Amino acid sequence: MRRKQTKQNGSRWRGWILAIAVLSGLPSVASATHEADHRFTVEGFVCGAEGKSSANIDVLVKDTRISYGQVVKTDGEGYYKAAFHLHNDNLNDPLLIEANGERQERKVSFDPKDLETERIIQVNFGTGCVQTKGSDWLWLYLGSGAMAVAVGGFIGVKLIRTFRKQEQKRGKSQGKHKK
- Answer yes or no: do 84 and 35 share one domain: yes
CA angle 35, 136, 154 (to 5 degrees): 105
CATH number of the domain enclosing 87 = 2.60.40.10
- Answer yes or no: do 38 and 109 share one domain: yes
Choose among 146, 89, 136: nearest CA to 112: 89
- Give the separation between CA 39 and CA 96, rounded to whole angstroms: 17
| β-sheet bridge partners, residue 172 | none
The pLDDT value given to residue 135 = 54
- Answer yes or no: do 42 and 102 share one domain: yes
Residues in the chain, how many? 179
- The residue among 101, 122, 143 that closes a domain is 122
Report if residue 80 sits inside a domain. yes
Q: What is the pLDDT of residues 4-49, one digit of tens each?
A: 544 455 555 555 554 554 444 444 334 444 566 677 889 999 988 7
The pTM assigned to this predicted structure is 0.53
Number of folded domains in the chain? 2
Q: What is the pLDDT of residues 74-111, one digit of tens each?
A: 998 889 999 888 888 888 889 899 998 889 999 888 88
Domain that holds residue 167: 134-179
- Which residues in 47-136 belong to E strands, given as ranges? 58-63, 68-73, 79-85, 94-99, 102-107, 119-122
- Answer yes or no: do 138 and 158 share one domain: yes
- Give the separation between CA 153 and CA 76, rounded to whole angstroms: 39
Cα→Cα distances 119→3, 51, 82, 103, Å? 58, 27, 12, 22
